[in-house]
Homo-oligomer: A and B are copies of this chain.
Amino acid sequence: MPTMMLDLPQGSYPIHIGPRLLQEAGLLSSLVTGHRAAIITNTVVKPLYMHWLSEALAPFQPVVIVLPDGEPQKALSTIDYVVGELLKARCDRQATLFALGGGVIGDITGFVASVYQRGVPFVQVPTTLLSQVDSSVGGKTGVNHALGKNMIGSFYQPRAVIIDTTTLATLPDRELSAGLAEVIKYGVLGNYEFFVWLEDHMEALLSRDPEALTFAIETSCRDKARVVEADEKEAGLRALLNLGHTFGHAIEAGMGYGQWLHGEAVAVGMVMAARLSERLGWLTAADVTRLRNLVAAAHLPTDPPAMDAKRFLELMAVDKKVLGGELRFVLLRGLGVAFITKDVPFDVLTDMLNS
C-alpha cells in the first residue's frame, strides 16, 4: 500500500492509499487518541461504507452524524447542526472526527474539527476521486456563504488521510470524470510526464483499472503534498493549484451550485486559462488542442455555458484570488508549466470570454 507523508512545520501526517483500507480496523482505530470518535457522512455514502468504519471504531462508541447529500450542505447552518449533535453525544475536546464521503463532507468535517471547542483532531476518509486527489489533502476546510463559495473556512490539517480505492467502484461515471479533471490539472500545472501518461491511460482510468487509478491518485497526492509543503497558507506557490478555478468558480456560481460539478467547471476553466494563455502569446494552439482533447477524452466539457463576459467578470470580482483589488490569473507557458500573473489586459480577457 503506497503511503506518503505530508510534512508541515506544525507536524506531519500520513496519506495511505490502497484497496480495502476501510477494512483495516487496526489502522483506523490507531488514529483515535481520546475516548470517543464521531463519523460524519451523508445519506448516499452511509449505506455503502459506514459499516466498515463504525465496526473499526466500535471501541470508541462512535456517534454517527448523517447529512443530506450535496453542496447546499456546505453552510453555517450545517456547522450549527453538527456541533449540536457532537454536544448531545457529549463529545469532548479529545474526540476524533472522521469525514467519510466526498469533498463536501470533508470540507464540513474539517471545518467543524477546526472550530469545535476550538479544535479537535480529524481524519479524512475520502470516497470520491475528486476528494481523494484534491480536497482531502492539504488542510483547506470551509463552507459557503450566500455571497461566495468557501468564504468561511480555515487551514486545518487532518491527522491522516485514508484513501480506500475500492470505494471508487460505486462512484457514478459523471463523478469519476469530474475527479479526473483535478487529476489532469496536476499534469497541466507542473508535471508534463504525467500529462503524457494521462494521454496514454485515459481509457484505463475510465474503465476503473485499479492499477491505473492507484497510480493517478498517488501521483496527484504527491504533487499536491509538495506544493502544500512549500506554501501551506497560499502566500504564493499554492495558488498554482487554482489553475482553472477562477473561471470554474464563476461557472459554478453563475449556473447555481450543483448544476455543474466542481470538476466539470474546473475542466472548462483549465481550457479557458489555456485559451487566454494562447491569446497572450504564451501557449501554442497545438498545446491548447492537446489539453482540450485530453479533457474531452475524460468525458468532460471543454466549453463554458452561455454566460456573457460581463457576468463572468462580475462573478470573478468577488473571488478569493482577488488581491488588493487586482485579479490574479494562473496561466500556462506550456503543458506542465503554470505561473501566476496579474498582467492580463482587460480587453484580451473580455475578447476571450466573448469568443
On A, residues with C-beta under 8 Å from B are: 34-35, 76-77, 79-80, 83-84, 87-88, 90, 92-94, 111, 114-119, 140, 142, 145-148, 150-155, 233-234, 317-318, 320, 322-325
Contacts and interface: CB of A to CB of B under 8 A. Distances in A.
A142 B117 CA distance: 9
A92 B325 contact: yes
Contacts of A114: 154
B320 A93 contact: yes
Nearest to A35: B324
A117 B87 CA distance: 27
A84 B146 contact: yes
A325 B60 CA distance: 13
How many copies, total? 2
Contact of A80 (B116, B145, B325): B145
Contact of A325 (B83, B90, B145, B233): B90
14 contacts: A35-B325, A76-B77, A79-B152, A80-B152, A83-B147, A83-B152, A87-B145, A87-B318, A90-B317, A90-B325, A92-B325, A111-B115, A118-B154, A119-B155
A217 B233 CA distance: 35
- Interface hub of A88, A145, A150, A323 (most chain B Cβ within 10 A): A145
B87 A152 contact: no
A79 B76 CA distance: 9
Nearest to A94: B324
Contacts of A148: 87
A69 B84 CA distance: 25
- Interface hub of A34, A87, A88 (most chain B Cβ within 10 A): A87
Given A118-B153, A151-B87, A233-B119, A322 B145 contact: no
Contact of A154 (B35, B115, B142): B115
A142 B155 contact: no
A119 to B, nearest CB: 7
A323 B115 contact: no
A169 B325 CA distance: 40
Contact of A88 (B147, B154, B233, B323): B147
A118 B154 CA distance: 4
B116 A151 contact: yes
Contact of A145 (B83, B90, B324): B83
A114 B141 CA distance: 12
Nearest to A152: B115
